[in-house]
A = this chain, B = another copy of it.
């Protein structure tokens, strides 16, 4: 049987990461090796680029340019927050048909996998043979079906580096430090702060995740206890922490949520604002006697910081792009590329059904969270460690105290 021959379209949806361009370039360079793929087009700003027939011909990019783009964070093609419905997909499909597109690669999270699923169904309904492959990416690591997700390791490394510095900073001038890390439903990224801990008294001393109900009274008590024990407290909090009803804490702490921005899906804006951090800092100031309380919101810095990339992540992001093309041509199947952990540490790649990934969210399993719900376990560290890679060792000064002769 002759292989399916035609053009390929590649695009990216959702938030950028530090390594998404590795997946892009992996797919482009791999696609160029196959005669079945006559050209590879990039759609600008995700599915919107397909809808608006806004393509660039990546077949005509140079290898040097692409290799430099691979090292560039962000999304080289641009991205979109559009969440296509059936109609939107039908219109996309019409454009792809006109350009004789036979391969569709979409780099993104669970929404992007869902887009692939709908486009795939449209094509099947029209008896148009089209390979739809979802290439995973997310800093949140919240995709089901894959051991972990490209983009996570590098963002996690950023969080670990940030907390390494912050822990030492707050040790030097003691007080309470609250860092707000991205993660609406999954705490994997916030949990990565634990890798800043080298000595038993290093921070972060407390980690709060969206997988556990957030109790403001317990939060204040935990902080006071840790302060009494260590003389300073470093805390990592997921932006998505919520109360028992699942209502975001940012909304419960704020008197009236009139000026809290909501997106088109009614989700409260969690990133790009310092409100949650400031509210939590106020909570500590008002309910303890600790004077120096600071809050930072990591915001967009953690998503595509330059030159803070995990080596594992870097290579795997490239490989999921390459494998997407290989699966589509050699195996003639649709699906989502999944990473399977086969060794400590080694992976291989699999293609799983789009329906397994589409619109589903993975959260931290119970064994990764401590009993008190304010920290993570060794099991989490075993899981996430290889994804982030080794951090260079920091050190404390090891020197004896001098005997007091005046005040002794």
Contact = CB atoms under 8 A, between A and B. Distances in A.
Interface string A297-309: 1111101111110
A108 to B, nearest CB: 12
A53 B172 contact: no
B73 A164 contact: yes
A169 to B, nearest CB: 5
Question: How extensive is the interface on chain A, given as a class?
Answer: 35 or more
Nearest to A175: B272
Interface stretch (A91-99, A120-128, A235-243): A91-99
Given A79-B172, A173-B81, A306-B394, A73 B165 contact: yes
Interface string A155-171: 00000111011111111
Contacts of A78: 171-173
Nearest to A404: B53
A397 B305 contact: no
A406 B405 CA distance: 88
Contact of A168 (B65, B68, B75, B166): B75
A79 B392 contact: no
Contact of A272 (B98, B161, B296, B405): B296
Contacts of A405: 53, 98-99
A278 B400 CA distance: 46
Interface string A218-259: 000000000000000000000000000000000000000001
Q: Which of A165, A395, A398 has the most CB of B within 10 A?
A: A165
Interface stretch (A56-64, A209-217, A354-362, A363-371): A56-64
Given A168-B16, A168-B304, A305-B162, A406 B95 contact: yes
A2 interface: no
Contacts of A395: 65, 68-69, 71-72
Report the 8 A-B pairs with minimum CB-CB distance, sorted nearest first.
Answer: A274-B274, A74-B168, A272-B294, A296-B299, A68-B395, A55-B402, A165-B304, A164-B306
